Amino acid sequence: MDPAMGNPMVPMTAQIPAPVAQPIPLPVLTRDSYNSQSLGRSLNANVKQARVLMVGAGGIGCELLKNLVLTGFGEVHVVDLDTIDLSNLNRQFLFRHEHIKKSKALVAKEAAQKFNPAVKIVAHHANIKDAQFNIEWFSSFRIVFNALDNLEARRHVNKMCLAADVPLIESGTTGFNGQVQVIKKGVTACYDCAPKETPKSFPVCTIRSTPSQPIHCIVWGKSYLLNEIFGASEDESAFDHTVDGDNAQEIEELKRESAALRKIRNSVGTEEFAQMLFEKVFKTDIERLRSMEDMWKTRKPPEPLNYKELLDKAKSLDKDKVLKDAQKVWSLEENLVVFNDSLERLSKRVLENKSAGEESIITFDKDDEDTLDFVAASANIRSAVFGIDRKSKFDIKQMAGNIIPAIATTNAIVAGLCVLEAFKVLKGHYEQAKEVFLTPFANARMLASDKSREPNPDCPVCGVYQTRAYVDLEKATLNDLVEHLIKTNLGYGEKDFAISNEVGILYDPDETDNLEKKLSELGIKSDSFLTITDEDDEEPFVNVVVAIQEAKEPLGDKPVKGILDPEDVKIPLKPKKQSQPEPVATPTAATNGASISNGQNGGVINLDGDEPMTTPAKSLKRGHPEDAEGPSVKKIKANDKAADDDIVFIEDSAGAIVIDDD
């Protein structure tokens, strides 16, 4: 029997194998499908259509951009002026070693685009305060995210978002702590509703004559000595000159010291250079200070050092071994070795730049080993002179670079919270928006949320009536603004009022010299802010802030036009202040300043730069031109400049100086 014929006893139909059931292919879910399942169709649609702005592409910014892209926000604009530094790589995970010195915004766009090519990312390597980022531009966004690290930029974005009536999600971190806050004009408190701590400054005489803490010596090395020898002479930004008048004689002596240092500067690169500099700042200057006996009645006088004696003791030290251990607190002799070696390296750089015809100025950079070694050694030698504890190079880098160590997981948590709050904003549920505080080492919850605070009626930024006006800047005078906008359009009529800007008062009933001058002559341009203060004693309006917009179309017979018709302008009256009863003393537990309890008790964790602080929810002191009840501001004429050089602070981009008192 032919095997191919099968079994003749079995019917042919029975020999055909039964068909195997094929699995039904499951539908392939796209990223958008998952997002729609998670968020709901309506919210997901809003996310895909949203055009958002993120300011800052650093620690929080990298994490936030990744989240925005993965969530599917339709268009994301990123603004950052900074470039990538080596110290960024441990927490800003969109960047790699090959990106050092490149634009943060541009590299972040390139890296994040790979996560979701469907999202449109637009990068701007620029300063958010540039003229191109005007109110009209801010108005084009659905939400603005702040991922900044300095007070000035945060305040600017806060003001622009209020003027453009765009929701702002403010965030910040400091070490393990973090905060997220939703800001909506007229609904929640703005960034300036609570006062902010002033960056730390130091009287010049403390830095130069009577240091008492390591930070004083570090600031001296970084902002004074380094700049006098290798930089653009004295860095005045490090010193507070408010008490100079009380120390006129000492200030003159300090100026003579600076002149002498400039002469030593000319000997850069010579064999005698290190000894000349050492003996000048650690012997001659110290001997002069010791001779001022009144200065040392209540404190230990400094001890001058002998260069040759110290050098003899340091000859046996291995320079490379000393430099290798940044965690060790160097001895006085080891600091001299580093001092001389860093001077040699810096001098070589100066001479090479000069021979190449390039600028020979060297400035401090915490990641520049040459300048860091010089500042560390100089500061420690000065500390030894004044009997102050020395610090390791690692500690000095933290303090000189104004660094509070950043934690990658803190940035990630805060960035996630920003997106969660953004969902509430997109749905218009501002009543559900929270101020969220991340405090891992608090006694209560790690993540604590408070209901968003209401706007502070005394806030000089949001406790005002905001409007805009279109102006022909080529024709409009201050008088046109007074007659056609303030008196007519805004309804001031015959009220007495004053007009001021960030520089000072432009007009009031007793100051009318500027009325016939063009706004351009008074420094007023597109996106300038003018504050109108009602001086009526009976029923004064709240302050009015007018954002000036350059007219793009002819305005007719009047060169000024309000954005609203007169009948639509509703300026509220200032609330009448109720007299406060006399406080009654009651026994309370002793406290050291205000307390934070996961953001409770009206306190705010302010994260300007990197340093947290507690601030009361309401300020009793206002010194801003927009404050009608604050101190008087100076009146200005055309082409006058603000005199803002009286007090200057140490305020690097990374935040405030940290003082270690232990």
Strands 560-562, 544-550: pairing is unpaired
Beta-bridge partner residues of 608:
611
Spatial separation of the C-alpha atoms in residues 302 and 307, rounded to whole Å: 16
Contacts 24+ apart (CB under 8 A), 240-245: 240/201, 240/202, 240/203, 240/204, 240/647, 240/648, 240/649, 241/203, 241/204, 241/646, 241/647, 241/648, 242/203, 242/646, 242/647, 243/203, 243/205, 244/204
- At 319 the three-state DSSP class reads helix
The answer to whether residues 172 and 145 touch, using CB atoms and an 8 Å cutoff, is: no
Strands 120-124, 143-146: pairing is unpaired
The answer to whether residues 613 and 179 touch, using CB atoms and an 8 Å cutoff, is: no
Sign of CA dihedral 399, 400, 402, 406: negative
**3-state DSSP of 240-255:** ECCCHHHHHHHHHHHH
**3-state DSSP of 196-207:** CCCCCCEEHHHH
Dihedral class, residue 639 (left if φ above 0, else alpha if ψ from -120 to 50, else beta): left
- The catalytically annotated residue of 193, 205, 418, 459 is 205
Tracing tokens 């990197």 back to the chain, one arrives at 610
- At 508 the three-state DSSP class reads strand
Tracing tokens 């559900």 back to the chain, one arrives at 432
For residue 449, which phi and psi values (nearest 5 degrees)?
-125, 145
- Taking residue 152's Cβ as centre, other Cβ atoms within 10 Å add up to 11
Instruction: Report the alpha-carbon angle 435-439-440, nearest 5.
Output: 140
DSSP state of 327: S
463, two tokens = 């406790």
- At 558 the three-state DSSP class reads coil
Dihedral class, residue 40 (left if φ above 0, else alpha if ψ from -120 to 50, else beta): left
Q: What is the DSSP string of 274-306?
A: HHHHHHIIIIIHHHHHHT-GGGGSSSPPP----
Residue 38: partners with Cβ closer than 8 Å, 6 or more residues away: 44
Helix, strand and coil in the chain, % to nearest 5: 35, 15, 50
Candidates 271, 185, 193, 262; CA nearest to 224 is 262
**Could you tell me where the beta strands, DSSP code E, fall in 133-287?**
143-146, 168-174, 177-183, 202-203, 239-240
Spatial separation of the C-alpha atoms in residues 237 and 241, rounded to whole Å: 10
370, two tokens = 């040459």
Residue 289: what residue type? L
- Taking residue 489's Cβ as centre, other Cβ atoms within 10 Å add up to 21
Summarised one tens digit per residue, pLDDT across range 158-195 is: 999 999 999 999 999 988 999 999 999 999 999 999 88
- At 502 the three-state DSSP class reads coil
What are the structural domains of the chain? 32-197+407-451 (3.40.50.720), 204-236+249-401 (1.10.10.520), 465-568 (3.10.290.20)
**3-state DSSP of 12-73:** HHHHCCCCCCCCCCCCCCCHHHHHHHHHCHHHHHHHHHCEEEEECCCHHHHHHHHHHHHHCC
Residue 137: partners with Cβ closer than 8 Å, 6 or more residues away: none
- At 353 the three-state DSSP class reads helix
Spatial separation of the C-alpha atoms in residues 462 and 159, rounded to whole Å: 8
CA atoms within 13 A on the CB side of 106: 11
- Taking residue 265's Cβ as centre, other Cβ atoms within 10 Å add up to 16
Contacts 24+ apart (CB under 8 A), 537-542: 539/573, 540/573, 540/574, 540/628, 541/465, 541/492, 541/495, 541/571, 541/572, 541/573, 541/574, 542/463, 542/464, 542/465, 542/571, 542/572, 542/573, 542/574
Please name the helix (run of DSSP H) or strand (run of DSSP E) that holds residue 604, with its range, or none: strand 604-605
- At 529 the three-state DSSP class reads strand
Q: Maximum CA pair distance of the chain? A: 129
539, two tokens = 């029923």
The answer to whether residues 639 and 513 touch, using CB atoms and an 8 Å cutoff, is: no
Task: State yes or no: is 190 an active-site residue.
Answer: no
Residue 203: what residue type? P
Residue 87: partners with Cβ closer than 8 Å, 6 or more residues away: 366, 367
244, two tokens = 């100079």
Cα 225 off chain centre by: 27
Tracing tokens 């993540």 back to the chain, one arrives at 447
Summarised one tens digit per residue, pLDDT across range 370-418 is: 999 999 999 999 999 999 999 999 999 988 877 667 789 999 999 999 9
Helix 41-49 with 408-426: angle, nearest 10 deg: 110
pLDDT at 385: 96
Cα 617 off chain centre by: 21
pLDDT at 263: 76
* Stretches in the chain below the pLDDT threshold 70: 1-17, 198-201, 232-255, 257-258, 403-404, 577-662
Strands 465-471, 544-550: pairing is parallel
The answer to whether residues 267 and 256 touch, using CB atoms and an 8 Å cutoff, is: no
- At 546 the three-state DSSP class reads strand
Summarised one tens digit per residue, pLDDT across range 55-100 is: 999 999 999 999 999 999 999 999 998 888 777 888 999 999 999 8
Question: Is the whole model's pTM more than 0.75, yes or no?
Answer: no
